[in-house]
């Protein structure tokens, strides 16, 4: 594990360094019933992902960039993610970008 700002880190990694880059950002609307994540909320980076980070992730990933988000969120749409995977019965969805 590396403790770093994700954008700064991605900018300094050579192209095609990883097979997959996975983002698991804090949800814009938290699921407060998730007690496992509760102690980490205050330590987390609550900034939304931005297009520049996605661009860098696509440069660094050989196969895929995956973004975890709640199905009801508009974040994946805002980031321009077209391919979304997940069950309609599950509140979690995964945006997948193939660079």
* Six token digits for residue 43: 């330590």
List alpha helices for the chain, DSSP H: 6-11, 51-60, 75-78
Residue with tokens 């321009």: 80
φ and ψ at residue 94, rounded to 5 degrees? -125, 120
- What pLDDT shows up at residue 27? 64
- What pLDDT shows up at residue 31? 59
Q: Which of 32, 28, 24, 97 is nearest to 65 (CA)?
A: 97
As averages over each run of 10 residues, the pLDDT of the chain (99 residues) reads 89 98 76 67 79 97 95 89 86 92
Residue 92, H or E segment: strand 92-97
Domain ranges of the chain: 6-97
């Amino acid at each position: 594990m590396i403790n770093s700002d994700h954008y700064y880190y991605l900018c300094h990694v050579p192209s095609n360094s990883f097979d997959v880059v996975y983002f698991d950002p804090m949800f814009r609307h938290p699921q407060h019933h998730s007690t496992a994540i509760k102690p980490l909320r205050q330590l987390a980076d609550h900034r939304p992902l931005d297009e520049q980070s996605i661009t860098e992730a696509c440069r660094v990933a050989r196969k895929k960039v995956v973004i975890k988000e709640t199905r009801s969120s508009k974040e994946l749409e805002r980031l321009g993610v077209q391919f979304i995977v997940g069950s309609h019965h599950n509140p979690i969805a995964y945006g997948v970008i193939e660079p």
